[in-house]
Amino acid sequence: MVKNKALFLDRDGVINHDKGYTYRIEDFVFIDGIFDLCRAAINAGYIIIVVTNQAGIGRGYYTEADFLHLTKWMCERFEQEGAPITDVFFCPYHPEYGLGDYKKESYDRKPNPGMFLKAKEKWGIAIEDSIMIGDKESDMQAASKAGIGIRCQYIVDGSDRVITSNANSRMYELRKGLLSSCFINNKNSITNCT
């Protein structure tokens, strides 16, 4: 059986600019280059999987229905751009600030590897040949625990304008790396895109 390679993406800070607990379409701003990156990944034989902590649900800032509405719209945009997302995995729980049933530890919440392992099982993913792109240390920890072969974290600091500029340029560099196959040929390396 042929296994899929996956490009795993965090959502906030990788797909869209992280403004804090984004759940409305009008607040969702794509990072320039994300569609190009995903098209390049698909052309290189990867499927696209989103893995995202969504503690805003657990904290009561928005509902699962709000999240699913935004996710449906986001996936439609990727489809329109020729870069379809295969699946989206999310964790709504928070061990400290969750409300009611949402206040609990979860194996799915990054830095735990649960979402990656569920995707591996569901989609027959060759995890060691896959890539994770995130913007937080918890993304890298979860990817490492899951056995993701290539992990790339980019970090941006400063004003909103600097963050926007840096995120956009990082996305370009990631796409360039994918196209040049540096990710593919350097298995088990950690790329810190700072």
Q: Where are the domains of the chain?
A: 5-193
DSSP 142-178: HHHHHT-SEEEEE---SSHHHHHHHHHHHHHHHHHHH
Q: Is 31 helix (H, G, I), strand (E, B) or coil?
A: coil
Active site residues: 10, 12
Rounded distance between C-alpha atoms, residue 33 and residue 168, angstroms: 6
Q: Side chain identity at 133, as an amino acid letter?
A: I
Residue where the block lists tokens 């040929």: 185
Tell whether domain 5-193 is in CATH 3.20.20.100. Answer: no
pTM (predicted TM-score) = 0.85
Other CB atoms within 10 Å distance of the CB of residue 137: 12
Q: Is 188 helix (H, G, I), strand (E, B) or coil?
A: coil
| pLDDT tens per residue across span 71-80 | 999 999 999 9
| pLDDT band per the 50, 70, 90 thresholds, residue 33 | confident
Task: Produce one character per residue of 80-109: b if its CB has 16 or more CB atoms within 10 Å, e if not.
Answer: eeebebbbbbbbbbbeeebeeebeeebebb
Q: Is 43 helix (H, G, I), strand (E, B) or coil?
A: helix
Please report the pLDDT score of residue 12 as a whole number. 95
| pLDDT tens per residue across span 96-155 | 999 999 999 999 999 999 999 999 999 999 999 999 999 999 999 999 999 998 888 876
Is 123:49 a contact under the CB 8 Å cutoff? yes
